[in-house]
Amino acid sequence: IQGTIRPHAIIILPNTGGMELLLTYEDEGIYIDIYGHFTKETVLQWGEMPASVAYLQSNQVMGWGEKAIELRSVETGNLEGVFMHKKAQKLKFLCERNDK
């Protein structure tokens, strides 16, 4: 990537003892270990550029974009759900509360 990178979140992957991470930035995410080595060939690719990204206890990552909220599997990056919305908002924080 040339130029400035906009980071979203660093997610510690479950069942890895804190040794593997999902780094989300721009419109994608990569899987690395704490030494910076790639652990998966898979790249998480958002459908649109998220303004905010959050980890959910259900082992999903949620990305809030201008037109939709995407739910993706933390383990595989596969799309698991999309919620369309009409009002684009810029959120400072995106988080889960009471398993919702």
Q: Over the stretch 70-96, which tens digit does the pLDDT of each residue have?
A: 999 998 899 999 988 876 665 556 666
Q: Over the stretch 35-69, which tens digit does the pLDDT of each residue have?
A: 999 999 989 999 998 988 888 888 899 998 888 89
What pLDDT score does 82 carry?
93
- Which pTM does this prediction carry? 0.79
Helices and strands in the chain: count of H runs, count of E runs = 0, 8
What pLDDT score does 10 carry?
92
What pLDDT score does 90 carry?
59
Contacts of 40 (CB under 8 A, 6+ apart): 31
Residue-range domains of the chain with CATH: 7-84 (2.40.10)
Which 8-state DSSP code applies to residue 36? S
